[in-house]
Chains A and B, each alone.
Chain A
Amino acid sequence: MAYLTTHPDVVPVISFRFGKGAADIDRYLELDGYKSVRKCFEMEPDAIINEVKTSGLRGRGGAGFPAGMKWSFVPKESAKPKYILVNGDESEPGTCKDRLIFEHDPHSVIEGVLIAGLAVGAKMGFIYLRGEYRFLIEIMEKAVADAYQRGFLGKGIFGTKHDFEIVVQTGAGAYEVGEESALMESLEGKRGVPRIRPPFPAVAGLYGGPTIINNAETIATVPHIFRIGAKEYAALGTERNGGTRLFCLSGHLEKPGVYELPMGYNLKKMIYEVGGGIPNGKKLKAVVPGGSSTPVLLPEEIDIGMDFDQVAKAGSMLGSGGVVVLDETVCMVEFALRTIKFYQHESCGWCIPCREGTDWLKKSLTRLHMGGAVDKDIDQIKYIADNMLGRTFCPLGDAAAMPTAAFVKKFRKEFEDHLNGKGCPYHPAPDYELATV
């Protein structure tokens, strides 16, 4: 569903070059490309960081950490080289925005990396692409090659005394390497397992050097901030949630797709107006607001602004901006099972609560969905999820436990309807593939 879509409320900042052939470097230059980085050559590093702070840009990878603040953690002096790392591992179900940036505006990623490099004094960047994004690798690699060819990368870039190298690297198909420290392990050629923190990447990251790691969208937004002005960018969004972001609308909608909307845009409006509402006159049953790891919202909970703080207040998370809409035909037990199957499959296996917990959740939910459970099994599922929460080595465990706990809490009745041999009321003959343990 990653096709280009539009709506009158869309504010094209990041998506301003989408569909305009900007993967071509000349086209990119025509559309004001590489102007922001030229501006930054004239600025002090601290001034660059301050602009990013002023813009109110928060990480688009999920956690929403203020980007400017993250950059300011990098020590000025370092014995080891510093690195800029672009997290393009985009694997959270419901999220399909970074791929559009790589496809339509790859140079904005390069330009963002260069600006980040100037801000923290790094001379090398890595763009880490999700392994499954085969077709994007060529686009991205061509963009990097073109930038080298124009002297925008390499030695003495843009005729200045600055050097900068960029390497494009792909993953091997693991959601977990989207986690920043696992990504660094993977990039270093090791197993994709997270690292112990502290030290945090800004102090000791890739190859032990101070490292900025940002989501692809976060990085690609940076040149636009310098293009339109930090204050102006901030003003597009809400308080402490500057600017716009790419929302990925999927599920039971008339017009699913990726829309760039201001931060704080009302969720209900997003579903019913931007997304065109629920097809076939069906009723809305639930909304997963920020990618599969965020707790589900009920229809009565969606009259909220989509920024990090307001969604948190509603008991969920804005996450990676993947809004999944479910109509009344969806079996929530099956949906919970579908979700946990993903996390069970993607758990790296490093720590016990996540490795074993996701496995048992999958087994129990499968049985429950098929009608093989009794009342206490529902509590058992909740018990496992509760005991994973906050106990795992990295947030993937939470990402599996949080939605599960929410499904049980908000749809308990539906779980109960499956018990004691009754099985699934929605699919009397349960999906065999789902049922296999």
Chain B
Amino acid sequence: MADVTFTVDGKQLTAPKGTLLIEACRKAGIEIPAFCYYPGLSLQGACRMCVVRVEKMPKLQTACTTPVADGMVVTTESPEIAQARKATIELLLGNHPLDCPVCDAGGECELQDMTFKYGAHQSQFVEIKNHREEQQWSPVVYFDRPRCILCYRCVRVCGEGMDVWALGIQNRGSGAVIAPNKQDHLECEECGMCIDICPVGALTSGTYRYKTRPWEMSHVSTVCTHCADGCKTTLGVRRADDGMEIVRGDNRDKSGFNNDFLCIKGRYAFDFASREDRITQPLLKQPDGQFKPATWDEALDFAGKQLREIRDTRGGKSIGVIGSTRITNEEAYLLQKFARTVLGTNNIDHHRTADYPSFLAALKAKGQKEASIRDFADAKAILVLGSDPTEQHPLLAWQIRNNVRNNQARLYAANHQDIKLRRQATGFLKIQQENYGALIAFLAGNEKTFEGNANAAGFREALRKEESIVIAFGSEYRGRDIEALIAFGAGFPNVKFACLGDYANSRGASDMGLLPDLLPGYVPVTGAGSFMQEYGAALPQTAGMDMVQMFDAAGRGELAALYVASADPVKRFGVDPAALKNTFLIVQDMFLTETAKLADVILPAANLYEKAGTATNTYGDLQLVKKAGDKAGVRSDFDLIVRLAGHMGHDIKSLVPFGKGLLADFGQSRGTQSGEADRHAVWLTAHQLELKASPFDPFAIFDEIQRLVPAYDLPRLDLMAGNDEHLKSDLVQIQTGATRRDLVLPSNDTLFTSGTLGEYSQMLHSVMESRKQSPAETAAD
């Protein structure tokens, strides 16, 4: 829209017609106080804090509801305005409990901040305050009614933002009160958005309330370890007897593509990290089958010696390696390098939840056609094929809902289930589960399966009118179907694609070559030239065994050793424990998983919140992972791989080229938590200086990744500053993967489950136990 010119506090400003005065001012650096206004949510005009003087208007006007107009003359600060704001706060404080010393929001409270600014600290009221008891609405949501200032942010974020509509307003006047959907409790998606958005301490979280004061925590910004959307999160950590305990997760600084969004898992499901039953020392299996604690040297010596002997006697082909979908890119990369150069095997795999190799092969050399999660926030049209974003990709669902609501984007979805997002859809097509492939053929013009289906025809007709679209597809699509889908999509003048996998770094695991036939960057093992040059070592040139083949081989007694890093394949793939009885098994993990129970050596491992590096979400957005929590006795997978190599007698320097061409440090040190190390690193980079790093520094490996994997060769300064970088996804080297074996096993996670990790979250369990319905069913239809 055309720009209009107006004056605010004597400054001439321009903004597009229709811009709200409060937004136009904020853009120009003029802060207008607001309780009820919240960008992206509907307007309320309820708190009256944003009042300003607009010339020619008899009364003060609310900046949050006034669109700018040509020639408008506005004053945002004057004694009259300050008095109005002060009076509003005085009225609020009159009934406010002022229990700031024990309030969770103390120090982070917008009411405190406003009082500080407008000075309504002297109460003239002598009557007793209205009071109501605190209520628990769900395992994670508590409500302290007297603190509520009735800004209705919670009501709107739940309804408009989450499309859950679990909160409403009861009664009227001074008896008005926020109330949950089930009389006295909530059955909702438990995302905690309402708590997060509450400007005061009225809504508090079951995991955080009364635990600490905000200024007594350190705040570390990192990436959520749960689903593959990769929300940026700030973890509040606090010193505990045995390390650093995570006490809170939010993204209140709104940095990153998720803005302030986190789902239940990102916000609350970090409790697995501080569980009592975590493994915190190496364990060795005794002849009687019991595990006995060992020193690091004992355990690593034993494991290293065994591995070396097996490699030297039976060859690398008799050893398998299984990696994780929740380790960093650097760890995944290092693991494959360890497998291929130290163990000499291509028998390496991970739990695949999407067919990324086929996807990227199909995008190869097509220009930048992979959609970032950011693209869903402003796409004109979106097509979702398969998957249930509300359950499996909460952030994606959030982006889509916001885009539909605020920008009138059109959503099309085809699914074999009535997914909740259909409520935002312009077109929804229900299909048979086996017809996902046929649907592509139909959309591309082939009538066969959907002949005479008017719904399908209408769906296709509507889609054909779209010129600019982003297409996301779930694990229903693999191999040739993906190829066909991309070919169909190429018919749109402007198109981008997203392949929806399941865990925090599933994409990274795939990109970093945790695959038996592909090296990092999807270079076929048969064409390992550049890798051999970089590594200065020979690499096995034939494809190794995949996950299923490895367990089959173990059953036949042909897999002499298996090294499993932070994964539980025995449970996931239903492996018969007997199959592994003749295999020397090393497992590094947090818990005594089904796989770990069968191990000969268990090494205590850190999780994603306890390490540094990078992770890639399913949309190919690369982000920095920082160390937030810590547990005495555990080590990162990176650390463990390097040490294991060392104990095998391998030259560590050939595994991690530390000191070689390093640009900066990710900062595994504690300093990262205050951002010190990063600032240091950015400074060093800017001055083209090098940092002497240790062999445990993931940045040393990141350098190597950037040299070998062109898609990851991105500007680093932005990444270091905490921003996401979108991969150059078309720079892969394989051809279409139709001949590859398809081992995709979707996680089938819901909002309240998260693979193995979820099983160790007491919080997720208690939420599931507190309710009868599945989260998406709860939604008010």
Interface residues of A (CB under 8 A from B): 174, 176, 191-192, 196, 344-353, 355-360, 363-364, 367, 376, 380, 383-384, 387, 390-393, 437
A344 touches B169 (CB 8 A): no
* Given A191-B169, A196-B65, A356-B91, CB of A347 within 8 Å of CB of B174: yes
B48 touches A353 (CB 8 A): yes
B45 touches A196 (CB 8 A): yes
Q: Which residues of chain A are within 8 angstroms of B174 by Cβ–Cβ distance?
A: 344, 347, 349, 355-356, 358-359
Question: How distant is the Cα of A347 from the Cα of B46 in the complex, in angstroms?
Answer: 13
A351 touches B60 (CB 8 A): no
* Given A356-B91, A357-B91, A359-B95, CB of A349 within 8 Å of CB of B60: no
Size of B's binding interface in residues, CB under 8 A: 34
B45 touches A364 (CB 8 A): no
A349 touches B172 (CB 8 A): yes
A351 touches B45 (CB 8 A): yes
Contact of B91 among A348, A350, A352, A364 (CB under 8 A): A352
B579 interface hit (Cβ, 8 Å) = no
Using a CB-CB cutoff of 8 Å, which residues 82-120 of chain B contact chain A? 83-84, 87-88, 91-92, 94-95
Q: Which residues of chain B are within 8 angstroms of A353 by Cβ–Cβ distance?
A: 48, 87-88, 91
* Given A350-B46, A391-B60, CB of A384 within 8 Å of CB of B150: no
In this complex, the member of A191, A349, A387, A393 whose beta carbon has the largest number of chain B beta carbons within 10 angstroms is A349
Q: Which residues of chain B are within 8 angstroms of A345 by Cβ–Cβ distance?
A: 173
Question: How distant is the Cα of A387 from the Cα of B92 in the complex, in angstroms?
Answer: 13
B173 touches A364 (CB 8 A): no
Question: How distant is the Cα of A352 from the Cα of B151 in the complex, in angstroms?
Answer: 9
* Given A196-B65, A363-B127, CB of A355 within 8 Å of CB of B176: yes
Q: How far is the CB of A208 from chain B (nearest CB, A)?
A: 14
Question: How distant is the Cα of A352 from the Cα of B173 in the complex, in angstroms?
Answer: 10
B43 interface hit (Cβ, 8 Å) = yes
B172 touches A348 (CB 8 A): yes
Closest 8 CB pairs of A and B: A349-B176, A387-B87, A356-B91, A359-B174, A347-B173, A363-B127, A390-B59, A349-B173
B452 interface hit (Cβ, 8 Å) = no
Q: How far is the CB of B381 from chain A (nearest CB, A)?
A: 23
Q: Which residues of chain B are within 8 angstroms of A391 by Cβ–Cβ distance?
A: 48, 51, 59-60, 84, 87-88
B683 interface hit (Cβ, 8 Å) = no
B127 touches A393 (CB 8 A): no
A360 touches B94 (CB 8 A): yes
B94 touches A356 (CB 8 A): yes
A355 touches B173 (CB 8 A): yes
Interface residues of B (CB under 8 A from A): 43-48, 51, 58-60, 65, 83-84, 87-88, 91-92, 94-95, 124-128, 130, 149-150, 169, 171-176
Q: How far is the CB of A391 from chain B (nearest CB, A)?
A: 5
B88 touches A352 (CB 8 A): yes
9 A–B pairs (Cβ distance < 8 Å), ordered by A = A174-B172, A349-B175, A351-B47, A351-B48, A352-B92, A360-B125, A367-B126, A387-B83, A393-B46
Q: Which residues of chain A are within 8 angstroms of B92 by Cβ–Cβ distance?
A: 352, 356
Question: How distant is the Cα of A391 from the Cα of B124 in the complex, in angstroms?
Answer: 20
A360 touches B91 (CB 8 A): yes
Residue of A nearest to B169 (CB): A191
* Further contacts, 15 of them, CB under 8 A, given A352-B47, A356-B91: A192-B172, A196-B44, A346-B172, A346-B173, A347-B174, A348-B176, A352-B46, A352-B149, A353-B91, A356-B94, A359-B173, A360-B91, A367-B127, A383-B124, A391-B60
B45 touches A355 (CB 8 A): no
Q: How far is the CB of A262 from chain B (nearest CB, A)?
A: 30
Q: Which residues of chain A are within 8 angstroms of B48 by Cβ–Cβ distance?
A: 351-353, 391-393
Question: How distant is the Cα of A384 from the Cα of B126 in the complex, in angstroms?
Answer: 14
Q: Which residues of chain B are within 8 angstroms of A364 by Cβ–Cβ distance?
A: 125, 127
Residue of A nearest to B171 (CB): A349
Question: How distant is the Cα of A356 from the Cα of B124 in the complex, in angstroms?
Answer: 14
In this complex, the member of B87, B95, B130 whose beta carbon has the largest number of chain A beta carbons within 10 angstroms is B87
Q: How far is the CB of B617 from chain A (nearest CB, A)?
A: 38
B46 touches A363 (CB 8 A): no
Residue of A nearest to B176 (CB): A349
* Given A387-B87, A390-B59, A391-B84, CB of A355 within 8 Å of CB of B150: yes
Question: How distant is the Cα of A383 from the Cα of B92 in the complex, in angstroms?
Answer: 15
* Given A390-B59, A391-B88, CB of A347 within 8 Å of CB of B172: yes
In this complex, the member of A352, A358, A364, A437 whose beta carbon has the largest number of chain B beta carbons within 10 angstroms is A352
Residue of B nearest to A174 (CB): B172
Q: Which residues of chain B are within 8 angstroms of A392 by Cβ–Cβ distance?
A: 48
Residue of A nearest to B152 (CB): A350
Question: How distant is the Cα of A199 from the Cα of B65 in the complex, in angstroms?
Answer: 11
Q: How far is the CB of A339 from chain B (nearest CB, A)?
A: 15
B46 touches A351 (CB 8 A): yes
Q: How far is the CB of A288 from chain B (nearest CB, A)?
A: 22
Question: How distant is the Cα of A333 from the Cα of B95 in the complex, in angstroms?
Answer: 24
Q: Which residues of chain B are within 8 angstroms of A359 by Cβ–Cβ distance?
A: 95, 130, 173-174
Q: Which residues of chain B are within 8 angstroms of A367 by Cβ–Cβ distance?
A: 126-127
Residue of A nearest to B175 (CB): A349
Question: How distant is the Cα of A155 from the Cα of B654 in the complex, in angstroms?
Answer: 89
B173 touches A344 (CB 8 A): yes
In this complex, the member of A174, A344, A391 whose beta carbon has the largest number of chain B beta carbons within 10 angstroms is A391
Q: How far is the CB of B114 from chain A (nearest CB, A)?
A: 12
Question: How distant is the Cα of A367 from the Cα of B126 in the complex, in angstroms?
Answer: 10
Question: How distant is the Cα of A196 from the Cα of B20 in the complex, in angstroms?
Answer: 13
Residue of B nearest to A351 (CB): B46
Q: Which residues of chain B are within 8 angstroms of A350 by Cβ–Cβ distance?
A: 44, 46, 150, 176
Q: How far is the CB of B97 from chain A (nearest CB, A)?
A: 14
Q: Which residues of chain A are within 8 angstroms of B127 by Cβ–Cβ distance?
A: 360, 363-364, 367, 437
Q: Which residues of chain A are within 8 angstroms of B128 by Cβ–Cβ distance?
A: 437
Q: Which residues of chain B are within 8 angstroms of A360 by Cβ–Cβ distance?
A: 91, 94, 125, 127
Q: Which residues of chain B are within 8 angstroms of A349 by Cβ–Cβ distance?
A: 150, 169, 171-176
Q: How far is the CB of B602 from chain A (nearest CB, A)?
A: 58
Question: How distant is the Cα of A351 from the Cα of B176 in the complex, in angstroms?
Answer: 11
Q: Which residues of chain A are within 8 angstroms of B43 by Cβ–Cβ distance?
A: 196
Question: How distant is the Cα of A52 from the Cα of B358 in the complex, in angstroms?
Answer: 73
Question: How distant is the Cα of A360 from the Cα of B58 in the complex, in angstroms?
Answer: 26
Q: Which residues of chain A are within 8 angstroms of B83 by Cβ–Cβ distance?
A: 387
Residue of B nearest to A367 (CB): B127
Question: How distant is the Cα of A373 from the Cα of B367 in the complex, in angstroms?
Answer: 78
Residue of B nearest to A372 (CB): B126
Question: How distant is the Cα of A1 from the Cα of B176 in the complex, in angstroms?
Answer: 33
Question: How distant is the Cα of A393 from the Cα of B174 in the complex, in angstroms?
Answer: 15
Question: How distant is the Cα of A14 from the Cα of B83 in the complex, in angstroms?
Answer: 47
Q: How far is the CB of B202 from chain A (nearest CB, A)?
A: 14
Question: How distant is the Cα of A363 from the Cα of B87 in the complex, in angstroms?
Answer: 17
Question: How distant is the Cα of A196 from the Cα of B43 in the complex, in angstroms?
Answer: 8
Q: How far is the CB of B75 from chain A (nearest CB, A)?
A: 16
Q: How far is the CB of B45 from chain A (nearest CB, A)?
A: 5
Q: Which residues of chain A are within 8 angstroms of B172 by Cβ–Cβ distance?
A: 174, 176, 192, 346-349
Q: Which residues of chain A are within 8 angstroms of B124 by Cβ–Cβ distance?
A: 376, 380, 383
A363 touches B91 (CB 8 A): no
Q: How far is the CB of A106 from chain B (nearest CB, A)?
A: 30
Residue of A nearest to B90 (CB): A387
Q: Which residues of chain A are within 8 angstroms of B149 by Cβ–Cβ distance?
A: 352
Q: How far is the CB of B351 from chain A (nearest CB, A)?
A: 48
Question: How distant is the Cα of A346 from the Cα of B176 in the complex, in angstroms?
Answer: 11
Question: How distant is the Cα of A376 from the Cα of B83 in the complex, in angstroms?
Answer: 19
Q: How far is the CB of B780 from chain A (nearest CB, A)?
A: 14
Question: How distant is the Cα of A346 from the Cα of B92 in the complex, in angstroms?
Answer: 19
Question: How distant is the Cα of A355 from the Cα of B65 in the complex, in angstroms?
Answer: 20
Q: Which residues of chain B are within 8 angstroms of A393 by Cβ–Cβ distance?
A: 45-46, 48
Q: How far is the CB of A379 from chain B (nearest CB, A)?
A: 9
Q: How far is the CB of A337 from chain B (nearest CB, A)?
A: 14
Q: Which residues of chain A are within 8 angstroms of B88 by Cβ–Cβ distance?
A: 352-353, 387, 391
Question: How distant is the Cα of A387 from the Cα of B81 in the complex, in angstroms?
Answer: 11
In this complex, the member of B46, B47, B58, B169 whose beta carbon has the largest number of chain A beta carbons within 10 angstroms is B46
Question: How distant is the Cα of A383 from the Cα of B84 in the complex, in angstroms?
Answer: 11
Q: Which residues of chain A are within 8 angstroms of B87 by Cβ–Cβ distance?
A: 353, 383-384, 387, 391
